Chains A and B, each alone.
Chain A
Amino acid sequence: MATHMSRCRSWSRVQRYGIAAYREYSGGGGGGGRYPNLSLSSPLPGIPTPLFASVEDAHGKCETRITTLDNGLRVASQNKFGQFCTVGILVNSGSRHETKYPSGIAHFLEKLAFSSTAQYGSRDEILLTLEKHGGICDCQTSRDTTMYAISAEARGLDTVVSLLSDAVLHPRLLDEEIEMTRMAVRFELEDLNMRPDPEPLLTEMIHAAAYRGNTVGLPRFCPIDNVDQIDKAVLHSYLRSYYGPERMVLAGVGIEHEQLVECAQKYLLNARPVWGDATPATVDLSLAQYTGGIVKMEKDMSDVSLGPTPIPELAHIMIGLESCSFLEDDFIPFAVLNMMMGGGGSFSAGGPGKGMFTRLYLNVLNRHHWMYNATAYHHSYEDSGLLCIHASADPRQVRETVEIITREFIQMAGTPGEMELARAKTQLKSMLMMNLESRPVIFEDVGRQVLSTGKRKLPHELCALISNVTASDIKRVTAKMLRSKPAVAALGDLTELPSFEHIQTALSSKDGRLPRMYRLFR
């Protein structure tokens, strides 16, 4: 192996200085010279004995360790075998913090992430540096968190952390980059309205309806009018308030904790951000106020298909009620309830395991073949949450669609069947565990939990909590939820949409039926 390497190296030197004249082309030589001409089904000689990881040594190491640096930044890590690691910085900053600023800053920051920094002249330089370690970088913003993450070979940890620190604390925010970002944001807004999948748009609308004008109800996507308003000065003033070390977590998966702490001390402890000292006094600490309400968007959806196969015209309805924050104990029963509702698309492929026995399949999709989609979602934040059901059908059947959703909501308050509950609990556990198979998901889990609670609940603790959920828990949380005012988002041709008051009446009735409408003329 060693001789192999050294020979390659000397050869590359020839290649570099000896130029074209030495090159042999096809026909000359034929076989690959030093290249091992050995079938893949027989082992390559000369490979060092692998040191296999075994589960026993892994168990001790695989717990989350957390250290707080002197400046308040938390470092959390979890070891995991494999030569790649995912390391990133999570910041407690998102669209919900934009009350005193023009909406859309978080969206801009997401798009601007990993652009030129103090050390690196351009995004290309960053990518080139990462490529040396087989790495990729990504930034994602949600309503309450911004996440800068890099996946790379564990050996490149030092470079990775230095790059992260640079990207988060020392972005240059050049004029041309901001201009490019404006274009990217405009493009994304346009794309959002054209996409056949209405899910992101509906989520945005139902948040606006549920938390009218406050915190998580603020737009996650930059409103088109704000695109030109946001510039370097605005961004810096925002960053000064929200990008303080005490609002950040450096999380890593697949690395040693000591190593990560060492790197954090080197690159993040005394790093002075480019926007100067933090002004934490201006941080918006308001709690989410659930208001309920309706947001409608009348839109011609008769031709949304981007490909050759046409998609039928659909109207999309999403109805939600206030659930609870992920810090409350009721969060787990709500998660089980969400799993029990399940649902999906009526034409989705896949064998057993996609949730064929969830309520939205059994009660809705299997009974009403005209429905195209019925899915339950649960959004939860540190101070509030929202459980909603999305359904799509032909615009002429909007009224029935709404009634089907409201009836499902009312039926949640009944006692769930024993089998059904047990199945939902098992499915929730297995979904949790299956998601945690992948490194980036563990990273996100570690980072988010440490950011919001300062510690991490391990998967098996969560599983124990899920096991403890009883039918009466489900009944209790549903009863509480049904007392809240509904939030409604509707998209498409809405001529048949019942009024908000009627939806509200249906949700406070016993059977979930909409009040009857007497119409003289049909």
Chain B
Amino acid sequence: MASVCRVGSTVGRSLAKHRSPVLLSLRRGQRSVSYAQSLAGAPETRLTALDNGLRVASEETGHATCTVGLWIGAGSRYESEKNNGAGFFLEHMAFKGTKKHSQTALEQQVESMGAHLSAYTSREHTAYYMKTLAQDLPKAVELLSEVVQSSSLSEAEVEQQRAVVLRELDEEEGNLQEVCMDLLHATAFQGTPLSHSVLGPSANARTLTRQDLVEYLSSHYKAPRMVLSAAGGVNHEELVGLAKAHFSGLSFEYEGDAVPVLSPCRFTGSEIRMRDDAMPLAHVAIAVEGASVTSPDVVPLMVANAIIGSYHISNGGGKNQSSRLAAMAAEENFCQSFQAFHSSYSDTGLMGIYFVTDKHHIEDMMHWSQNAWMNMCTTVTESDVARGKKALKATLVGQLNGTTPICDDIGRHVLNYGSRVSLAEWDARINAVTPKVVRDICSKYIYDKCPAVAAIGPVEQLPDYNRTRSSMYWLRVVTMCSVPVWLSLVLLLPWCAQGQRGGPDQDQDRDRDRDRSGLLSAWFPPEVRPLLRQGRAPSRLPKRGQQGSRFALSLDVPTSILSVLIDLAKNQDLRTKAAANAELMARIG
């Protein structure tokens, strides 16, 4: 699920300090076994640091297999315009032979162990990992240490891999989701290193030299920025021993003390569109600046994403899907697929919605995606949040199904947070999320913020940026009594149309209906009136309250609508006055 944050890494500086593993086993409170305790029905994650700063973390699950790997705090974000793509190139070179083993020998060794050797590079992380039978752990660590520390990097091999990398770049061009997300980063973080793609431009792939790769390797593959992570049938002491044997030689000093310091990345609300009418489908991503990996706001944002959900045309369920956007997409055929995503990096993030649709439904999808966001900021209901929390918890637990995901989780957590955040802690943080928290945090990140938009394909219909921007808030009339009544109004599409289109929603649970204050019918729910009257108790009246309610507009509204709103508010005022008079009369009478 995309809503589960794809985390980047922490900065080099913060990598040096880490939480003592002892903290993990400290007793914190209650004696009896609570739910949160039983949550940790998983084994403990143990963490040890070597003298050179390399950290070793493992979880012993008793499987007959294990995954062991090296997670490194380096990625395309550490590259410059000139060497962008070096990390990815280096990853390609990794399995092409080491100083000890030729490529064939390396492949044969891995295959004969029945193991899998893989690697990935992201914007802030690089990982090399191996999945193997538990008894082969020593061999696996040895091979990994060779791959990372003594890759042969021969000139001839670099030239040969250049062609492969270029072909892969070509293939990547066909993966429109990746292209769209790269464009989104390029526009959202323009002028900063986060705008670089992981693969780098083809011009760089043609010109990068062996020297560039060696430089990249020697300036980033440093012990304090590495985590040797393992999960499965691994013994922590054994792993620490192996790490000492194979990784003690890794340097922790930078040449001339030139520690690469990450420049802060600035988010720019902006738009990029690549129109190509020959393409069958449009790929669009819209995002606002999200939370950084360590920010506590990540959790409510992930809950919000879980509520918005995802959809693919091949999903069953149709209009019965629990996500409202998905139900609508299925019923009205608005899109092929959509996904709410949140990618976080060490100091910033991107929270957005990515969708694929035909050229006639781009506007609809934009509208309903932003509408979903506005709902998050204003009217998200108790039942929505409860569902989102359940879904998020299930995803968090569910994705740890096997040694490789656990190992990946450990590696990224240690790089990001300095230790592994336990499931119990996630659970407590998710439990603390309430509808109010979701509304507040979403408002903080989404409401009235400039979004970044990236679109490729037949995107003529994509609304102009100013229109997109103006859907990032809902215009509302604010009627202020002692009890504030906030009313909201969607301006850009007439709300009567929304009332019709929102048809499937209306039969949903009552909570939800009541919270739909966008609908005219819900503007003045009968329950408000007694409360208003109660609010008029003299002791709690504000000074000007005696004259009735005061209304203010949060933003400039076209005059025609303004007059309608004023009339409505006047009527309301009259009605309450009449009610108050009637009550007074009744009392006197």
Contacts and interface: CB of A to CB of B under 8 A. Distances in A.
B431 A5 contact: yes
A13 to B, nearest CB: 10
Nearest to A132: B390
A45 B64 CA distance: 35
Interface string B496-532: 0000000000000001001101000010010110011
Interface residues of A, number: 86
A23 interface: yes
B65 A21 contact: no
B285 to A, nearest CB: 18
B294 interface: yes
A299 to B, nearest CB: 23
Interface string A101-126: 00000000000000000000001100
Nearest to A22: B483
Contacts of B304: none
Contact of B434 (A11, A16, A81): A11
Which bracket fits the contact residues of B? 35 or more
B42 A52 contact: yes
A417 interface: no
Contacts of B107: 352, 356-357
Contact of A353 (B27, B118, B432): B118
A49 B26 contact: yes
B428 A46 contact: yes
A270 interface: no
Contacts of A453: none
A12 to B, nearest CB: 6
Given A15-B382, A47-B28, A134-B393, A52 B431 contact: no
A308 B358 CA distance: 13
A49 B133 contact: no
Contacts of A8: 431-432, 434
Given A25-B443, A48-B37, A308-B280, A35 B437 contact: yes
Interface stretch (A207-215, A260-268, A433-441): A433-441
B390 A58 contact: no
A50 B36 CA distance: 7
Interface stretch (B47-55, B215-223, B295-303, B560-568): B295-303
A44 B65 contact: no
B112 A426 contact: yes
Given A5-B431, A12-B382, A351-B119, A51 B37 contact: yes
A58 B41 contact: no
Contact of A35 (B42, B403, B433, B484): B433
B69 interface: no
Contact of A351 (B95, B113, B320): B95
Interface in A174-205: none
B116 A354 contact: yes
B398 interface: yes
B397 interface: yes
A59 B110 CA distance: 29
B256 interface: no
Nearest to B103: A352
A40 B421 contact: yes
A44 B428 contact: yes
Contacts of A434: 65, 131, 402
A423 B111 contact: yes
Interface string A419-446: 1001100111111011011110000000
Given A4-B432, A355-B111, A437-B403, A55 B61 contact: yes
Contacts of B422: 47, 50
Contact of A55 (B43, B65, B391): B43
Interface of A: 1, 4-5, 8, 11-12, 15-16, 19-27, 29-55, 58-59, 62, 81-84, 123-124, 127, 131-132, 134, 151, 308-309, 350-357, 419, 422-423, 426-431, 433-434, 436-439, 459-460, 463
Given A20-B514, A52-B44, 8 more contacts: A20-B517, A30-B444, A35-B433, A51-B41, A83-B41, A134-B393, A350-B118, A351-B116
19 contacts: A8-B432, A26-B377, A35-B433, A35-B437, A40-B295, A40-B296, A47-B28, A47-B422, A49-B29, A55-B62, A83-B39, A350-B116, A353-B115, A353-B116, A354-B116, A357-B108, A426-B112, A430-B115, A430-B132
Interface of B: 10, 14, 19, 23, 25-30, 33-34, 36-44, 60-65, 95, 106-108, 110-119, 131-133, 174, 232, 279-281, 293-298, 300, 320, 322, 377-378, 382, 387, 390-391, 393-394, 397-398, 401-403, 416-418, 421-422, 424-425, 428-429, 431-437, 439-441, 443-444, 447-448, 483-486, 511, 514-515, 517, 522, 525, 527-528, 531-532
